[in-house]
Amino acid sequence: MEIRQLKYFIEVAKREHMTEAADVLHVAQSAVSRQISNLEAELGVSLFIRQGRKVRLTPIGRMFLDRTIQAMKMLDNATREVKEQLDPSRGTIRVSFPISLAAYIIPTAISAFREQYPEAKFQLKQATYHELIDLVLDGDYNMAILGPVPEHDERLYGHVLFTEKMVALVPINHHLAREPVLKLKQLKGESFILLPEKMKLREMITSACREQGFNPNVAFEGDDVDALKGLVSAGLGISVLPDSTVLENFPRATVKIPIVDPVVPRTVGIITAKDRKLLPTEELFFAFLKTFFSKWSASYS
């Protein structure tokens, strides 16, 4: 069994088409067909059901695909680890993160890290909260930065980098704009502008409002935090956001006001899988983040 055969197998399973897989692999279709046939002969089973030019996995093929993907991830990690042991400062850091950290927290941390390690490379992926957890558990990424940090998942290690509070963002001409602080109850009846349902940040805000005896009246939804800010600046409603999202970047036509009753906290940190260790360059970045945010939290608070 050859690595090349496994790569061909994964691509054909993904495309469900020999010719399309061959195009992606930049080889002849006959070469792909031959390697798949050789693999099936070696295993003694059929991995695909042929349907003209298309194929689909047999039940055994689906099982073998899952195992093969995991094996290839382990092989890729092993190859990267060998290279990074020689010089971790020049390796690649693969990290995933949510929308709410994309505008300020992640760029700030990466920029500071690159000042110390300019030859380090990054592969970044933005995803929703629950997708981030799955990406780490499935081995697609070894680490994710997210908020809040899961507390009771026995499959993950969670390290809190800092804790932040929620603030209200209101149009500058809003009747609450001159308030120094706000109680969450004061937002009852306001038109809320929030992320879509099933987003973790939306869940946190909705839950906090319900604990205060009301459901937020969601007038508009935006797919990212900048969209929410833009809608608030247009006077279409108010939003509740983590403070880190409006530290340096919020429209002039808006005002941010701390919410103090109750304080709605959000932990932000790193998750890693308990059954897998970080690669050397990832370890370097992990240690840097802990130091960086301990200093950042002290100045931020």
Name the percent of the chain lying above pLDDT 70.
95
Kindly list the domain boundaries of the chain, sorted by start residue: 3-74, 83-152+268-300, 163-266
When pLDDT is cut at 50, 70 and 90, the band that residue 66 belongs to is confident
Helix ranges, the chain (H): 3-15, 18-25, 29-43, 59-86, 105-116, 129-137, 200-211, 225-233, 280-300
Among 18-27, 144-153, 201-210, the range scoring the smallest mean pLDDT is 18-27
CA within 13 Å, CB half, 47: 27
Average pLDDT, the chain: 88
Report how far residue 106's alpha carbon sits from residue 104's, in angstroms, rounded to the nearest whole number: 6
Residue 191 has a pLDDT of: 95
**11, 53, 78, 202, 205 from 215: Cα distances, Å:** 47, 54, 50, 12, 10
C-alpha 200, offset from chain centre:
12
Position 299 pLDDT exceeds 70 = no
**If we measure between CA atoms, which residue out of 165, 180, 189 comes closest to residue 265?**
165
Position 208 pLDDT exceeds 90 = yes
Across the range 121-129, mean pLDDT stands at 92
**112, 206, 238, 239 from 259: Cα distances, Å:** 30, 14, 13, 12
The most confident of the ranges 192-196, 242-246, 274-278, 292-296 is: 192-196
What is the fold, at CATH topology level, of the domain defined by 3-74?
Arc Repressor Mutant, subunit A (1.10.10)
Position 273 pLDDT exceeds 90 = yes
Across the range 93-118, mean pLDDT stands at 91
Position 293 pLDDT exceeds 60 = yes
CATH dotted code for 83-152+268-300: 3.40.190.10
Across the range 81-108, mean pLDDT stands at 82
Report how far residue 180's alpha carbon sits from residue 257's, in angstroms, rounded to the nearest whole number: 6
**If we measure between CA atoms, which residue out of 100, 240, 128 comes closest to residue 176?**
240
Q: 3-state DSSP helix/strand/coil percent for the chain, to nearest 5? A: 45, 25, 30
Residue 200 has a pLDDT of: 92
Among 203-207, 221-225, 239-243, the range scoring the smallest mean pLDDT is 221-225
| 51 φ, ψ (degrees, to nearest 5) | -135, 75
CATH code 3.40.640.10 for 163-266: no
Can 3-74 and 83-152+268-300 be said to share one CATH topology? no
